[in-house]
Chain A
């Protein structure tokens, strides 16, 4: 039962899209090798639902954000909206 928790611990909101997708693929791999108990499989199923939903939400909800990076005098960086040709497209 130590094993089952190692992939389940991380809260989904903290994952990047790539990590979430990777975890989904890992679940498939583990289920396919058959080396999981039924209880673990059920937990993976629930985790899989959450991960799929999270991935698809991430893919569909975000709009393209465009920023311009400007270096300030103290060599720090500022992001401002990129609107150089918003009125040209």
Chain B
């Protein structure tokens, strides 16, 4: 071997650091904006840092990849990756000088093919919009008080569980008809579309909820298929679409008569809160009660007035007319005052009281309060002495009080 050393100018000799720095300075600026597809291997989440490391490879080459925690948090929240998955990533090449290695620092990742799904989604959306399937004029009103609610979803998913829980709490006076279907994978869209058509020919439900819980775009894909959109559009029964999370928009959301952000929200939209409805009925009843009592009072006053003022100083035909009016009113008043009327009124009031005593919350909501002393309900002022402490329960909480004195009796 020759020794070349003496022939080489000293300033041409690099240190390892210098060489590596030169490579870094040469490579990095040219590989800042890289889109790269490949297959994942050696996938690892580093703990406790939360950074994710993996290798991307194809048949002939491989490259190490790292995704820092803040990107991992964003992209891996709803989707887990594993070895063998084909992905598309974006990032930049970084050379790690201490080890003379290069890797791609990833700031975006998605399964390969997702971009194509998004394009498919946009194309179908535009096509159906152009045909008018999303037009407001085709939207059917959702019934206010449905008796039977059809639900097209998986019988074992989170969606049906949430819907049942919420409806049984809010308004249990309904019947749910579950049409079990596959909500993802091969054949799911066909099953969903068939279920909608079947519920239409069954005809006994007044509204249909179609949906599923959250998932990846592929999981939710059945709800972006044309066959489902067409079935929803053709349904004679109003449809509420409830697919995934609040941020997920599906084609079925656009074509349905109402979009619910989640299955839980669909349950809240489809039934009212029972206590509110009960309160409404009671308010209507009190209004009727008051209006009729006023009417009876007015009629009484009118009879008295007629008898006093007209009867004795008018010609005979006038007199006859007024007598008839008095007779008519008196007869009505008789009915109003009659035993039958009193019984039915009392009966109802008793029933209402009993009803309110088993549902004290309803009375509280109307502004009534319950007074407690030492955890027991106080029924009489005699149970409370001066300076006794007590609690007052209102519809939205409890307040404390002390007896200062007794009011005047009226």
* Chain A interface residues (CB < 8 Å from chain B): 16-18, 21, 24-25, 27-28, 31-32, 37-39, 41-42, 44-46, 48-49, 52-53, 55-56, 58-69, 71, 77, 79, 82, 84-85, 88-89
6 contacts between A and B (CB under 8 A): A21-B280, A46-B344, A52-B285, A60-B274, A69-B179, A85-B155
Rounded to whole Å, the gap between the CB of B357 and the closest CB of chain A is 13
Asked if A52 and B284 sit within 8 Å, CB to CB, the answer is yes
In the A-B complex, the 9 residue pairs with the smallest Cβ-Cβ separation, listed nearest first, are A38-B332, A62-B173, A64-B172, A31-B291, A52-B285, A48-B288, A84-B155, A64-B168, A39-B332
Residue of A nearest to B144 (CB): A18
Task: Say whether B161 contacts A38, CB under 8 Å.
Answer: no
A/B pair count, beta carbons within 8 Å:
145
| B122 → chain A closest CB, angstroms | 35
A23 to B275, CA, bound (A): 20
Q: How far is the CA of A37 from the CA of B177 in the complex (A)?
A: 46
Q: Which stretch from B29-37, B53-61, B75-83, B292-300 is at the chain A interface? A: B292-300
Q: Give 1 or 0 for each of B345-357: 1 = CB within 8 Å of chain A CB.
A: 1001001000100
Residues in B with CB closer than 8 Å to A82 are 155, 176, 178
B156 CB contact (under 8 Å) in A37, A39, A85: A85
How far does the alpha carbon of A58 sit from the alpha carbon of B343 in the complex, in Å? 23
User: Are A24 and B284 in contact, with the CB atoms below 8 A?
Assistant: yes
Q: Which residue of B lies closest to A63 (CB)?
A: B172
A31 to B156, CA, bound (A): 51
B199 close to A (CB within 8 Å): yes
Residues B177 and A64 in contact, CB atoms below 8 Å apart = no
Whether the Cβ atoms of A28 and B168 lie closer than 8 Å is no
In the complex the two chains form, what is the Cα distance from A72 to B27 in whole Å? 68
Q: Which residues of B contact A42 (CB under 8 A)?
A: 292, 332, 335-336, 341
B281 touching A55, Cβ below 8 Å? yes
How many Å lie between the Cα of A89 and that of B164 in the bound state? 10
Q: Tell me the chain B residues, 193-224 only, with Cβ under 8 Å from chain A.
A: 198-199, 202
- Which of B176, B336, B344, B355 makes the CB contact (< 8 A) with A56? B355
- Select B344's contact among A25, A49, A60, A88, beta carbons within 8 Å: A49
A45 to B349, CA, bound (A): 13
Which residue in B281, B341, B345 is a CB contact (below 8 Å) of A21? B281
Measured between beta carbons, the chain B residues less than 8 angstroms from A45 are 288-289, 292, 341, 345
B336 touches A52 (CB 8 A): no
Q: Which of B150, B281, B341 has the most CB of A within 10 A?
A: B281
Residues B282 and A28 in contact, CB atoms below 8 Å apart = no
Secondary structure at chain A's binding surface: helix, strand, loop or mixed?
Answer: helix
Once the chains are docked, how many angstroms separate the CA of A68 from the CA of B195? 12
Do B177 and A56 touch (CB < 8 A)?
no
B341 contacts across to A, CB distance below 8 A = 42, 45-46
How distant is the Cα of A82 from the Cα of B348 in the complex, in angstroms?
A: 37
Contact with A along B34-67 (1 / 0, CB 8 A): 0000000000000000000000000000000000
* Assembled-state Cα–Cα distance A52/B283 (Å): 10
Whether B282 pairs with A52 at a CB distance below 8 angstroms is yes
**Given known A-B contacts A17-B147, A25-B284, A67-B177, A59 and B277 have beta carbons under 8 A apart:** yes
Chain A residues with CB below 8 A from B291, complex form: 28, 31-32, 41
Whether B227 sits at the interface, judged by CB under 8 Å, is: no
B174 and A64 contact, CB distance less than 8 A: yes
Q: Provided the pairs A24-B284, A71-B198, A79-B177 are in contact, do residues A39 and B161 lie with their beta carbons within 8 angstroms?
A: no
B147:A64 contact, CB within 8 angstroms: no
Q: Could you say which residues of chain A place their CB within 8 Å of the CB of B277?
A: 59
- Please give me the residue from chain A that is nearest to B147 by CB atom: A16
- Does residue B180 face the partner (Cβ distance < 8 Å to A)? yes
A10 to B335 Cα, complex, angstroms: 22
Per the bound structure, the CA–CA distance linking A10 and B289 in Å amounts to 21
Q: Among A21, A24, A46, A48, which residue has its beta carbon within 8 angstroms of that of B145?
A: A21
B278 touches A (CB below 8 Å) = yes
Instruction: Please state if B285 and A38 are interface contacts (CB–CB under 8 Å).
Output: no
Which of the listed residues A24, A42, A44, A58 has the most CB atoms from chain B within 10 Å of its own CB?
Answer: A42
Q: Is the CB of A65 within 8 A of B156?
A: no
A24:B335 contact, CB within 8 angstroms: no
